[in-house]
Chain A
């Protein structure tokens, strides 16, 4: 409490805060307010006729069965991406945590995919799995497996999950590795001396001690799968075939940018915004205080 006495008055603190507040206001509050305002309007594409419709856009969005489908699809997609990305990152981190030759190189290489932009990552996967030009795509077809993600919804979903998860593995890997290295060696040694097998040690000591990290990563991964996989989906499937890979964020893009329905698209964005608020709340309320970096 004694620290608050350093500055007298309110001018200096606000002055020091001003740049940050300004940035927040211009780049966050203003666009958000615009989205909310837009979500209450109906406009033609050029913005020449506009009608205030209260919550009609929201009602239209949440009663549209294809939007509800997209919502459930997004849940499935996010869960799958998070599970795959967390699972494989944990596996790799446990392997990298051992004393192996070239561990530094191995760790560095594993971090690389994180530096690849989502759209570029998608193009890499496209070149691997395109049924006509991709190496694996052609190989699968040559083996008699009818691989064509452009017309097979299940395969398309599998591909975008794989590509999205791959991008996130590196990030998870770093956190898991840091988490593993912060576990005191003495505890593990004591358990080993007591005769606990490596698998037993993992599930009873390492995994519980990693759980704050895992929980934090779970939230981050879910947020990633919800909001940052647009580039992957756009480059690989454009939400198709049918609507097999259309997630909520992709839906908001299609409706707003391609179909020029700014009102319904803004309503969807506002719904997504509320979701982010909820996720952030969960993170700060329950996780931030427990996680060990």
Chain B
């Protein structure tokens, strides 16, 4: 207790004293969930930071995919060995925000250490996702993405479609997929992250509620509302396309990425962050990969609205239930976050990977450099986020549900059963709501304290 107080006091007075007293850099453990090539690019950023200064050393380590990283961090916290920083996918946001003393909220971290980050410069969709209703930042946004549509230009040409005029509406998408199928393609259209791309994004783009209380932003008492008539019709359309062979299920979570990368799927809805991989792997190379916004249905008044973000953010964690960080460690975390917020880092990450430029300055800098002119399609994600004039509604701000990992799996399971023909679209979404609400109530109960 005494040491902690001393540490706090000395951090307040001078910056260099604690580091001198300890000798050697302060190690900051950083767990992330990005496989190659993204993981390598991320670790290059930490290496940059380590080289730029000598007081702190960020030690990155890959812990498997996002869900595995989340589970590992939580288990480590319970054992008193949590990492300083953990990368958490957007689905875990609700869990992290309600995690109490397990996390160190970013606004607290900054005010205690005196490091400043200009969050006003962050894209509203990004900032809103990770802040409390009063605007205080809880997590540190980093690799934000949104779902967009990629298409194989060669497949379009073979089907007699114009490779520079991708389908903009669902009707056009279906027609294109049918033509591609007729040209002998076995997988005309597929989707990665099926619930995110086909249910969550569809709901946002058409201003449909995924859950009550502004998709959970308004509190833990939220209930799922995906069984609304418009969403039901959309799932029925997917089922119909699946039956006629114009849509093929690509598997759960990120499994669908592979079918486009291998050239098998002609059209895919996937994370904009998959761009780096596609440009590298799709047969025919970068010239063969087209990008477009997700399609919409004009029958919905006001559509298309903005899409929502996905990807991941960084969270500062306490070491264990009864173990806080010392001032040095907090300082190191804060300075690393400030490094991530710098325009250079954000801009480079965006152009290297296809994730969003999370700050307006980074976006301006990339635009001024002529990158979008040289790389057509690279600005699709950000344009799609600003679609609808940037007028966000309670349905398009994002999703903040506790136990969302489980709810996603439930929605995937019900979709799979529907696409197999075992149940109707209506039954699938009703089941998803019933089962998902149980998860929400359990989460509410466990976290009301």
Contacts and interface: CB of A to CB of B under 8 A. Distances in A.
A113 interface: no
A241 B417 contact: yes
Contacts of B344: none
Nearest to A49: B449
A240 interface: yes
Nearest to B443: A44
B78 A46 contact: yes
B419 interface: yes
B447 A44 contact: yes
Contacts of B172: none
Nearest to A255: B406
A133 B255 CA distance: 13
A42 B78 contact: no
Nearest to B74: A45
A292 interface: no
Given A43-B446, A46-B99, A242-B422, A258 B413 contact: no
A240 B71 contact: no
Given A44-B447, A46-B100, A258-B409, A240 B252 contact: yes
B77 interface: yes
Of the four ranges (under 10, 10 to 19, 20 to 34, 35 or more), the interface on chain B belongs to 35 or more
A132 B262 contact: yes
B251 A257 contact: no
**Does more than half of chain A's interface fall in helix, strand or loop, or is it mixed?**
loop
B249 A148 contact: yes
**Does more than half of chain B's interface fall in helix, strand or loop, or is it mixed?**
helix
Interface in B162-211: 186-187
Contacts of A243: 413
A258 B100 contact: no
Given A132-B259, A148-B249, A258-B67, A47 B78 contact: yes
A148 B421 CA distance: 14
Given A150-B251, A151-B420, A259 B406 contact: yes
Contacts of A132: 187, 258-259, 262, 264
Contacts of B449: 48-49
A164 B100 CA distance: 43
Contact of B409 (A47, A254, A257): A254
A44 B446 contact: yes
Interface residues of A, number: 29
B442 interface: yes
A261 interface: yes
B264 to A, nearest CB: 6
A47 B321 contact: yes
A24 interface: no
Contacts of B112: none
A240 B413 contact: yes
A241 B264 contact: no
Contacts of A49: 446-449
Interface in A54-94: 66
Interface in B383-426: 403, 405-406, 409, 412-414, 416-417, 419-420, 422
A65 to B, nearest CB: 10
A47 B318 CA distance: 13
Contact of B405 (A43, A152, A153, A259): A259
Contact of B420 (A48, A51, A141, A242): A242
B416 A240 contact: yes
21 contacts: A42-B445, A42-B446, A46-B74, A48-B99, A49-B446, A49-B447, A49-B449, A132-B264, A141-B186, A150-B249, A150-B250, A150-B251, A153-B420, A240-B416, A241-B413, A242-B420, A242-B422, A258-B405, A259-B405, A259-B406, A261-B442
Interface of A: 42-49, 51, 66, 132-133, 141, 148, 150-153, 238, 240-243, 254, 257-261
Given A44-B98, A45-B95, 4 more contacts: A44-B99, A241-B417, A242-B416, A242-B417
